Amino acid sequence: MLDGWRFSDRPESDWFLREVELRNPAQRDPITGEYRRLSASPAAQQRAQQYRETIRGERYYRMRHVGKMELNTDATLMGQPSLSGLNACVAPGDVIVRRVGHISAAPVSSFHRRHPVDANIAVVRGLSRRKAIWVAYCLNQPIYRSYFEQPGAINSLVRLGLKQLASMPIAPPPAAFDTLADQYWQHYERLSQADDRLQQLRDATKRWIATRVPNQPFATPTDGLVAQRFEAKDIDSVLSHAATEQNRICRELIEEYQCVPLSRLAEVNPKGSASADQASTIIKIGDITGHFDIQLDAEASKDRRWRYHRRSLSPFAVLVSTFVQEPKVGLLSSALPSATFASEQLAVLNFHRTPGAYALLLETTLVRQQVARLATGTVQRFVQPEQFKRIVVPPIEGAIAQDWHQRLTEIQQQKSEARRELVNLDREMQQVFRRVHPELSARHQDDSPQEDNR
């Protein structure tokens, strides 16, 4: 049983000053007010740099990444680790356990990157592959999760300690579970391998962008309001520094790099007058994963309270989050439930050709920085869906676009097939689990997790 990585991402904290900035938080220069530097060896300086890159790049697993029997990664977590040598860095065969709010557990595959987990997660290491699946499966069941609840305190927040986890009584895995565990690993590895293939495709997209738009002085948004001269043609009805800067960037991209607006490549937020009924499905930001696919919550997708685009979605429509702090892109598959709509939290783009290729492009820094400049609000910053017409991208050559689109759809198909097999396995695993465990009372069958954004 291993603790997660205990660190602080606050630059003013003692830990950050000592371990990352290599300064003594107890001693300050009386004249400049700066903290005095510590005497650090080359190894300590290298470790401080690794800490800095890991924290700034958010290359560590948080509670939101630990699903039920599945580690939910994104493009950031599929990148190469910046930090190594910590017990908190995951390894294949580990079981990682969310320990605050509600309990969930997921196994680590050989394709998952070996980033550390934070202190809200525990690591169970050293089990055989079959026992790892059994332990993870048990920890996701209500009868085991209820073991960690505070008795008599319905609303208390669950906080799972390592001693409590280590002392948990657990039934030995029945022999009938071994074959199911082997099959689970097989399909779970296929699911994770698809994310690895997708990361390679993302890297190819970044390299292509670097050749088409080699100089990006606008890659980082202006930090705060500064004096800057703009030409009159860059100023429009939106009198804000960021919007004017975005107009200048678009003009430079068009004039110097032959970029074109998205409105020339796709139908942006197509209009309609259809209405959702009880059989309709509404897709929201939370339904889009970090890897282009869409996983619908059967109950939440039927909620009629959401405002939505009044035209049903077409196969291979591209959906983009308008929430700047959670920039996600989804590509619909060819098979859609009847009457599927997108909420107004999402921008809808129907590309005229190779939508998969342009979905990859919409996830790059070139596009995300443009979106950030069009956002409004202070704490939670959103972009109006219509503003996506103002974003410009380089057109992708036909052969390359077709190759990317084909590869992305194949990856999605691989994930869909693997996930379908895992769902079928879960039914069989539940039957074996029930042979050695009693049914819970109705009171404990309510399995609704608390929301947590960490």
Q: What is the pLDDT along the chain (454 residues), one digit of tens a residue?
A: 999 999 999 999 999 999 999 999 999 888 888 999 999 999 999 999 999 999 999 999 999 999 999 999 999 999 999 999 999 999 999 999 999 988 999 999 999 999 999 999 999 999 999 999 999 999 999 999 888 876 544 556 788 999 999 999 999 999 999 999 999 999 999 999 999 999 999 999 999 999 998 876 554 545 455 667 777 777 776 666 777 888 888 888 999 999 999 999 999 999 988 887 877 889 999 899 889 998 887 655 555 567 889 898 999 999 999 998 888 999 998 777 678 899 999 999 999 999 999 999 999 999 998 888 888 766 668 888 898 998 999 999 999 999 999 999 999 999 999 999 999 999 999 999 999 987 755 444 445 444 444 4
Adjacent-strand bridge partners of 23 = 37
Cβ-Cβ contacts under 8 Å for 304 (sequence gap 6 or more): 276, 282
Query: CATH 3.90.220.20 region(s) of the chain?
Result: 213-403
Adjacent-strand bridge partners of 282 = 341
Whole-number Cα distances in Å, 174 to 129, 181, 431: 14, 11, 12
Give per-residue pLDDT as tens, 171-209.
999 999 999 999 999 999 999 999 999 999 999 999 999
Tokens of 425: 């396995």
Give per-residue pLDDT as tens, 407-420.
999 999 999 999 99
Instruction: For residues 273 and 312, give the distance between their C-alpha atoms in angstroms, rounded to a whole number.
Output: 9
Q: What is the pLDDT of residue 450?
A: 46
> Is residue 338 packed enough to be buried (19+ CB in 10 Å), middle (13-18) or exposed (0-12)?
exposed
Whole-number Cα distances in Å, 301 to 14, 84, 269, 283, 295: 45, 40, 20, 6, 10
Tell the residue number behind the tokens 């007058």, with chain if given: 273
Whole-number Cα distances in Å, 351 to 78, 264, 337, 357, 446: 27, 9, 20, 10, 42
Instruction: For residues 22 and 58, give the distance between their C-alpha atoms in angstroms, rounded to a whole number.
Output: 20
Tell me if 317 sits within 8 A of 350, measured CB to CB: yes
- Write the CATH number of the domain with boundaries 213-403: 3.90.220.20
Cβ-Cβ contacts under 8 Å for 153 (sequence gap 6 or more): none
Whole-number Cα distances in Å, 217 to 124, 244, 245, 356: 45, 16, 12, 27
Q: Shortest CA distance to 4 belongs to which of 166, 162, 192, 129?
A: 162
Measure CA 428 to chain center.
29
Q: What is the pLDDT of residue 17?
A: 95
Tokens of 319: 């959906």
Q: What is the pLDDT of residue 273?
A: 85
Q: What is the pLDDT of residue 219?
A: 44
Q: Where is 295: in which H helix or E strand?
A: none
Instruction: For residues 402 and 345, give the distance between their C-alpha atoms in angstroms, rounded to a whole number.
Output: 29
Angle at Cα 346 formed by Cα 342 and Cα 348, nearest 5°? 70
Q: Where is 72: in which H helix or E strand?
A: none
Helix spans in 159-175 (H): 162-166
